[in-house]
Amino acid sequence: MLPLLDVRHLEVAFFTKDGVVKAVNGISYTLDYGDTLALVGESGCGKTVSVLAMLRLLPVPPAKIMGGQVLLEGHDLLRLKLDQMHTVRGSQIAIVFQDPMTSLNPVMPVGDQIAEAMQVNLRLGRKEALEQTEVLLQRVGLPNAANQLKSYPHQFSGGMRQRVMIAMAISCKPKLLIADESTTALDVTIQAQIVDLVKELQQELGMTMIWITHNLGLVARLAKRVIVMYAGYIIEMGLTKQIFANPIHPYTIGLLNSVPGIELTVDQDLQYIEGAPPDMIKLPPGCPFSPRCLYRSERCLTERPELVELTTSVAAACWNIDRVHNR
């Protein structure tokens, strides 16, 4: 069966006056119906950009999609005319954005904001759309939903707004829901509630999901598969269980080690990866992680490793896998 989403060699660059920022450098992955995928990596590694490029939401210029294909049920989104993208956005792929404080129109009642999308995408009448909105708001756990339709975003807390954002995203029954760091701006207890809510909704509506996140705890709990990105490259991907149990790439190892454990005492230092991510304008010629890598060899500095399938469920891009694992 055709996968729901098939991303092939997606390449995105930003043309700035300082030079060309190579934000996404030929990433490929597939996503089956009903699957849950997590995209992880440091800030600026291209997670969000790759997703926004898929939906053609990047401002062109300065951004430019340099190549690749994004096949949604076999249709290449990158070849679609820009004025046809609105048939995909919302009704096929929807995003829940990171910051619920700024992602709602402050001068429009929330009911109208949610109903508007349904009026456009599902061609519902205004009354019908508002009725649906009420059902949705109830479903996402907003107390007293009927009376909240006329409320403005500033009358809601962050968690409530994120619930509104979720209601908005699922309103047009998308096949693919992307959560772009949707829990980052919330406090920990609310985070758990929101995550559980989205998980429930995913099951209920049979949605496929991509979680973009820094939160590795979340990944372990949610995603069946995980993609680790670094400097616009996929450096490791595979089943979450396997990667968490046995990370292959030195960067993934570093990333997992830097999660503070509960057994950490006050006088122990936090683990971190030395150095900073590379300048995306002047990427190192070899492996992008080589300047920070503890295991680098001559070859790492000159030749970039390709993503190699190690088992059926894990792939990594590293020249020195043997050395890394025979410590």
Partner 1 sequence: MTQELASLQVSPVERVKYRGFWTGAWRRFRRNVLAMYGLVFVGFIIVVALFVPVLAPYPYDKIDLAHGLEEMSKEHLLGTDQLGRDMLSRIMFAARPMLLVGFVTQVAALLIGLPLGIIAGYKGGVFDWVVTRFIDFFSALPWYLIVLYLVMVLKPSLQNLILALIITSWVNQCRIVRGLTMSVREQDYIEATRALGLPTWQILTSHILPQVAPLALWGFAVGIPTAVFAEAGLSFLGLGVRPPQPSWGQMLGESGQWWIYKPHMFVFPGLMITLSVLAFQGLADGLRASIDVNVNV
Residues near partner 1, by CB under 8 A: 55, 57, 83, 85-91, 94-95, 97, 99, 102-108, 116-117, 120-121, 165, 168-169, 172
Identity of the residue, 107 or 276, whose beta carbon is nearer to partner 1 in the bound complex? 107
Cα–Cα distance between 248 and 320 in angstroms, integer? Answer: 10
Cα–Cα distance between 50 and 39 in angstroms, integer? Answer: 10
Identity of the residue, 117 or 145, whose beta carbon is nearer to partner 1 in the bound complex? 117
C-beta of 158: minimal distance to partner 1 in Å? Answer: 14
Identity of the residue, 102 or 157, whose beta carbon is nearer to partner 1 in the bound complex? 102
C-beta of 164: minimal distance to partner 1 in Å? Answer: 11
C-beta of 31: minimal distance to partner 1 in Å? Answer: 18
Identity of the residue, 102 or 268, whose beta carbon is nearer to partner 1 in the bound complex? 102
Cα–Cα distance between 6 and 130 in angstroms, integer? Answer: 35
Identity of the residue, 48 or 202, whose beta carbon is nearer to partner 1 in the bound complex? 48
**C-beta of residue 32 within 8 angstroms of C-beta of residue 25:** no
- Specify the 3-state DSSP secondary structure of 286: coil
C-beta of 60: minimal distance to partner 1 in Å? Answer: 10
C-beta of 280: minimal distance to partner 1 in Å? Answer: 22
Helices (H), the chain: 47-54, 110-121, 126-139, 145-148, 158-170, 188-205, 216-222, 240-245, 250-257, 298-302, 321-325
Q: What are phi and psi of 128, to 5 degrees?
A: -60, -45
